[in-house]
């Protein structure tokens, strides 16, 4: 089906409330033991751009790792896209140090611009775009599990499509359904809305759930996925890269 025809058939992105973090943290985790794998192994139409490493964020790694089930679901999603459209993976598994840096940096920026916010309000505003850093085996930050992934779409030349905001912009316009609620859209906003719909429905068809405040953030197998997908339990708990040091310790222990 031609891209323009397909875009006209896509339904609106549904609206969902922000997650209740206290509730989703109670979802049991039965880790299935899947390994972390590098997305750079994936063939076209998947490409990888480790955004945080390119931005020089402390502790960021120059690769996007995800659990094996996420890898395969992403590849299937990318292959289902219309001809000439690809999927860019921007971030996956995240070291705890990076999660802490992102949380602290955003919280400081919000406090600078809104110094009158209470502690509870500041936490809620920060959580809108960055979850609280946690290595708790019962309630890890989504990106520390390898089940959360940040993605966008690109054209045949690999250039990102217009999604209305940039990746990681902490703005109301970054909410997935933002353009669905505007009475009138400019031609550029109309195009961005259609691109978001294409990304959302492509990912949803492969079992991913979306974080409502971030059009780029999708989950598969973690507690956010269990929460929004109404699953009995999560498949992924905290994960660590299989370093050569850890491997030797297991072999020689």
Q: Which residues are identified as catalytic?
A: 214
**How far, in Å, CA of 7 to CA of 193, rounded?**
10
CA distances from 63 to 44, 126, 146, 238 (A): 16, 26, 12, 18
Residue 217 is labelled as binding a ligand: yes
Residue 233 is labelled as binding a ligand: no
Are residues 122 and 110 in contact, defined by beta-carbon separation less than 8 angstroms? yes
Are residues 127 and 19 in contact, defined by beta-carbon separation less than 8 angstroms? no
**How far, in Å, CA of 126 to CA of 170, rounded?**
9
By DSSP bridging, strand 209-210 and strand 86-91 are unpaired
Residue 116 is labelled as binding a ligand: no
DSSP secondary structure of 48-92: E--HHHHTT-TT--SS-EEEHHHHHHHHHHHHTSPTT-EEEEEE-
Pick out the residues of the known binding site for Zn(2+): 143, 150, 217
């Amino acid at each position: 089906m031609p891209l323009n025809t397909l875009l006209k058939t896509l339904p609106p992105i549904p609206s969902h409330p922000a997650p209740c973090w206290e509730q989703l943290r109670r979802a049991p985790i039965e880790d299935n033991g899947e390994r972390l794998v590098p997305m750079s192994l994936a063939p076209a139409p998947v490409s990888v751009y480790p955004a945080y490493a390119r931005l020089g964020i402390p502790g960021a790694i120059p690769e996007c790792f995800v659990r094996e089930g996420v890898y395969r679901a992403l590849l299937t999603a990318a292959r289902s896209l219309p001809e000439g459209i690809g999927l860019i993976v921007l971030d996956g598994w995240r070291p705890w140090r990076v999660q802490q840096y992102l949380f602290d940096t955003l919280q400081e920026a919000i406090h600078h611009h809104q110094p009158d916010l209470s502690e509870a309000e500041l936490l809620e505003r920060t959580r809108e775009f960055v979850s609280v850093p946690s290595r708790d085996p019962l309630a890890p930050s989504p990106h520390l599990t390898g089940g959360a992934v940040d993605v966008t779409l690109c054209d045949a030349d690999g250039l990102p499509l217009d999604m209305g905001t940039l990746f990681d912009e902490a703005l109301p316009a970054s909410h997935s359904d933002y353009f669905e609620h505007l009475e009138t859209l400019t031609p550029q906003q109309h195009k961005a809305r259609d691109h978001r719909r294409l990304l959302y429905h492509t990912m949803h068809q492969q079992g991913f759930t979306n974080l409502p405040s971030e059009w780029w953030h999708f989950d598969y197998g973690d507690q956010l996925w269990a929460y929004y997908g109404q699953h009995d339990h999560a498949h992924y708990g905290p994960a660590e890269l299989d370093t050569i040091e850890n491997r030797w310790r297991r072999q020689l222990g």
